[in-house]
Amino acid sequence: MLTKYKNDYEKIAMGFLSFAPDLKDIDHLRSELKLYTEDEGHALYLYREQHNADFVGIVGVETGDDFVLVRHLSLSPNVRDQATQFAVLDDLAGLYRDKRLMGSLEYTPLISAFLQYRKEDLHGTDTGAE
């Protein structure tokens, strides 16, 4: 389940974002967090698997008229698997039903795999078959 970022979550958000290779520098990390909090075309969501559970990840997006672009997706090391990534993306797709889900260059393969998974799941195809 996704929870919209608010200032109370700053340290948690910075911790998750710091897992991203391009955000190791604290100044760059702070400027990215500022972008997500001050620019209406960007949003940051914390992810937890259940309502009262701890946060286990974060997703940062850029939104346009007809798209939502995943810019950052960072998970706790103990849940860095495709199932959790797909759960985050599924929740995100649910929030932005009327927008096309896309990924930055780094996340394009993940988004493609997720969209293929959803297409197969929707049509009743055995998603576990190779």
Q: What is the pLDDT of residues 89-117, one digit of tens each?
A: 999 999 999 999 999 999 999 999 999 99
Cα angle for residues 39, 77, 84 (degrees, 5° grid): 70
CATH number where 55 lies? 3.40.630.30
pLDDT of 37-75, one tens digit each?
999 999 999 999 998 999 999 999 999 999 999 999 999
- Whether 99 is in a domain gets the answer yes
In a domain, 128, yes or no: no
Q: How far apart are CA 121 and CA 54, in angstroms?
A: 28
Residue 126: pLDDT band with limits 50, 70, 90: very low
Q: What is the pTM of this model?
A: 0.88
